[in-house]
């Protein structure tokens, strides 16, 4: 048998036998059994039986192919992927419910504008509370019609589903810390149901999680995988003083090599400390008392305690959040809505920045390509990146920019330190994007 005649499991994977080859093999066996002069014309009864059987045989080959590839996380689908996840101890997750709410500002001065940032927390008034976070900023004025904004449930699963007309309110502790409404009040409505919590995550998302499962018990990668599963964690990094950099040492660059020990090995039985820097999604509280949502700090600490060896202690710290802005001029074609183009570009830039991880800077070329990919944009002129003063945690690696904001030159990339993460807010005062005609 030649290599071209090998079917089924081969060194190169599973080779599917095609329908034409199945029909040819069946006809060859029929001639061997009934003689070479047997009638296998298109109108013969034997030919029709063989063709019908070939279709079922071909379906069996497809089933065998699916069964073979269901053994590998990179190719498994559906129930096969679920079984692989069960073997790894990682179940498929529910999706968070999504929907829309309406916000109405009353009791405020007619000239006052109140901006609710992305991640604003609303909840059902009666316990057990069901909490939702807004997915976009919202700017309201008194007397204006109700403003619609998207929301996503804090907890995954069917418990996050809400019917239309469900009473909601701003979460009191969150509003006290982040808003200054004064005598004004905010009314929250649910004109449409919040649904989707009963759905499971798709194969692509689940497969990525399975492929990222470390096969070791205590490594930085294994610990990081567990931390990233904590609700509210956008990204995290583990700094190991014996295997990397201790983020708590402000004098990291002051050691005189050759005159004293830079880092000593751990003594058996002595405590060993390492740092975990965590970037939080908008709206999630860091500590107890900042809202009714479970705080990220406590969630990360509980996970690490379950996975750390004896006498190994974590120091969990918030990442330095750096607000990013842009200034420049867009040249658009005549007939296009300038405000719509501006909004589409800012939304796309925000999505791109939100995908960046700790220490990953913002590239000038990425912003330019994002702007030019929007229909109607002719040119992007004098685009500059802006950097706001970071909201500090208590970490420092020596190259962060402390207490200052900056506007970069045209074409210059915005670089970040290892403990910093970029944030692009649509309501940020750092955004100055003008729109001009051709």
Residue 58 has, within 13 A of its CA and on its CB side, a CA count of: 15
Q: Do residues 224 and 306 share a domain?
A: yes
What is the C-alpha separation between 90 and 126, in angstroms, rounded? Answer: 33
Number of domains into which the chain is organized: 4
Residue 252: predicted pLDDT: 46
Q: Using H for helix, E for strand and C for coil, what is the string for 272-341? A: EEEEEEEEECCCCCCCCCCCCCCCHHHHHHHHHHHHCCCCEEEEEEECEEEEEEEEEEEEECCCCCHHHH
- Residue 247, domain CATH: 3.30.300
Q: Do residues 101 and 29 share a domain?
A: no
- Asked if the model's pLDDT at residue 92 lies above 90, the reply is yes
Of all residues in the chain, what percent carry a pLDDT higher than 70? 85
Residue 208: predicted pLDDT: 87
208: in domain:
no
Q: Do residues 330 and 430 share a domain?
A: yes
Helical (H) or strand (E) element with 349: helix 338-354
- Asked if the model's pLDDT at residue 97 lies above 80, the reply is yes
Q: Do residues 430 and 326 share a domain?
A: yes
- Residue 108, domain CATH: 2.40.30
Longest CA pairwise span in the chain (Å): 98
Question: Per-residue pLDDT averaged across 75-85, rounded?
Answer: 89
Residue 309: predicted pLDDT: 66
- Asked if the model's pLDDT at residue 271 lies above 70, the reply is no
Q: Do residues 293 and 325 share a domain?
A: no
Q: Is the distance from CB of 422 to CB of 354 less than 8 angstroms?
A: no
Per-residue pLDDT tens for 409-437?
A: 998 999 988 888 999 988 888 898 888 87
Q: Is the distance from CB of 248 to CB of 395 less than 8 angstroms?
A: yes
Backbone angles phi, psi at 280, to 5 degrees: -105, 140
Q: Do residues 431 and 324 share a domain?
A: yes
Per-residue burial over 109-119, b if 16 or more Cβ lie within 10 Å, else e, is: eeeeebebbbb
Q: Do residues 114 and 156 share a domain?
A: yes
Range scoring the smallest mean pLDDT among 51-65, 125-139, 216-230, 273-287: 216-230
Q: Is the distance from CB of 118 to CB of 136 less than 8 angstroms?
A: yes
Question: Per-residue pLDDT averaged across 399-415, rounded?
Answer: 74
Residue 397: predicted pLDDT: 45
209: in domain:
no
Distances (CA, A) of 29 to 43, 171, 228: 19, 75, 58
339: in domain:
yes
Residue 151: how many other CB atoms lie within 10 Å = 27
Range scoring the smallest mean pLDDT among 163-172, 236-245, 338-347, 350-359: 236-245
- Asked if the model's pLDDT at residue 57 lies above 90, the reply is no
User: Could you tell me which residues come within 8 angstroms of residue 17 by beta carbon, excluding any fewer than 6 positions away?
Assistant: 7, 8, 58, 61
Question: Per-residue pLDDT averaged across 215-228, rounded?
Answer: 77
Per-chain mean pLDDT for the chain: 83
Give the structural domain span for 127. 96-189
What is the C-alpha separation between 246 and 242, in angstroms, rounded? Answer: 8
Q: Do residues 51 and 149 share a domain?
A: no
Residue 246: predicted pLDDT: 44
- Asked if the model's pLDDT at residue 195 lies above 90, the reply is yes
Query: Three-class SS of residue 94?
Result: strand
- Asked if the model's pLDDT at residue 240 lies above 90, the reply is no
Q: Do residues 311 and 325 share a domain?
A: no
Q: Do residues 367 and 342 share a domain?
A: yes
Per-residue pLDDT tens for 336-349?
A: 888 888 889 998 99
Backbone angles phi, psi at 404, to 5 degrees: -150, 155
């Amino acid at each position: 048998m030649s290599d071209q005649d090998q079917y089924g499991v081969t060194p190169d994977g599973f080779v599917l036998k095609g329908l034409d080859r199945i029909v040819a093999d069946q006809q060859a066996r029929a001639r061997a059994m009934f003689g070479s002069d047997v009638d296998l014309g298109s109108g013969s009864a034997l030919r029709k039986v063989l063709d019908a059987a070939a279709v079922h045989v071909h379906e069996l080959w497809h089933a065998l192919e699916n069964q073979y590839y269901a053994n590998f996380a990179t190719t498994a689908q559906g129930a096969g992927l679920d079984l692989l996840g069960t073997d790894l101890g990682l179940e498929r997750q529910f999706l968070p419910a999504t929907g829309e709410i309406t916000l109405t500002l009353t009791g405020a001065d007619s000239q006052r504008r109140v901006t609710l940032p992305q991640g604003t927390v609303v909840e059902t008034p009666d316990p057990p509370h069901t909490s939702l976070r807004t997915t976009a900023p919202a700017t309201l004025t008194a007397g204006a019609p109700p403003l619609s904004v998207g929301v996503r449930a804090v907890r995954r699963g069917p418990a996050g589903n809400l019917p239309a007309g469900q009473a909601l309110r701003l979460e009191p502790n969150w509003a006290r810390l982040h808003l200054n409404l004064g005598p004004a009040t905010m009314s929250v409505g649910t004109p449409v149901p919040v649904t989707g919590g009963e759905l499971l995550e798709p194969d692509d998302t689940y497969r990525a999680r399975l492929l990222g499962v470390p096969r070791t018990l205590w490594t930085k990668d294994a610990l990081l995988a567990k931390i990233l599963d904590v609700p509210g964690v956008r990204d995290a990094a583990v700094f190991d003083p014996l295997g990397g950099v201790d983020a708590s040492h402000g004098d990291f660059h002051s050691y005189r090599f050759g005159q004293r020990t830079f880092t000593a090995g751990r003594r058996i039985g002595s405590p060993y400390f390492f740092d975990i820097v965590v970037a939080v999604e908008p709206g999630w509280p860091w500590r107890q008392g900042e809202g009714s949502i479970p705080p990220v700090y406590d969630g990360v600490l509980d996970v690490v305690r379950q996975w750390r060896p004896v006498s190994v202690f974590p120091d969990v710290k918030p990442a330095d959040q750096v607000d990013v802005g842009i200034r420049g001029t867009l040249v658009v074609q005549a007939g296009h809505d300038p405000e719509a183009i501006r909004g589409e570009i800012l939304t796309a830039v925000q999505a791109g920045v939100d995908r960046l991880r700790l220490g990953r800077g913002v590239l000038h070329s990425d912003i330019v390509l994002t702007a030019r990919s929007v229909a109607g944009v002719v040119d992007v002129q004098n685009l500059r990146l802006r950097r706001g003063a970071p909201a500090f945690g208590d970490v420092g690696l020596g190259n962060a920019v402390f207490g200052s904001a900056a506007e970069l030159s045209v074409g210059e990339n915005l670089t970040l330190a290892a403990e910093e993460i970029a944030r692009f807010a649509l309501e940020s005062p750092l955004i100055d994007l003008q729109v001009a005609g051709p």
